[in-house]
Amino acid sequence: MKNLTRYLGLAIKLLVFLLVLGFALKNGHSVVFYSYLGYIWQAPLIVMLGLAFVLGAATGLLALLPTLIRLRREAGRGGRTAEPDTTTAPPAA
């Protein structure tokens, strides 16, 4: 069963790679990127899309970084600094 899952995962990865490769070969046209200060960059469409994907993934990771650092710090403490539950009032005597 473990080998079947591994082969299925490899087949899916190969299929995605072939789809992206076919997309890249079909869309080899150059596109122009106009930036600020008159900067112009011309590259194939697949390069622009790949760059947009990488920049989006990097932005997402940078946005997640403070949370990851906080969680790692809390896990390193091992829960030793757990605060008592103060959300409920003690029963009246």
Q: How many domains does the chain have?
A: 1
Residue 12 belongs to what domain range? Answer: 2-77
Distance CA 31, CA 39 (A): 14
**Is 63 a domain residue?**
yes
**Percent of the chain with pLDDT strictly greater than 70:** 85
**Is 88 a domain residue?**
no
Distance CA 61, CA 41 (A): 26
CA-to-CA separations, 17 to 13, 34, 65, in angstroms, rounded: 6, 29, 29
Q: Is the pTM of this model over 0.85?
A: no
pLDDT in tens, 35-66: 899 999 999 988 888 899 999 999 999 999 99
Distance CA 43, CA 76 (A): 46
What does the pLDDT read at residue 19? Answer: 93
Q: What's the helix, strand, coil split of the chain in %, to 5? A: 65, 10, 25
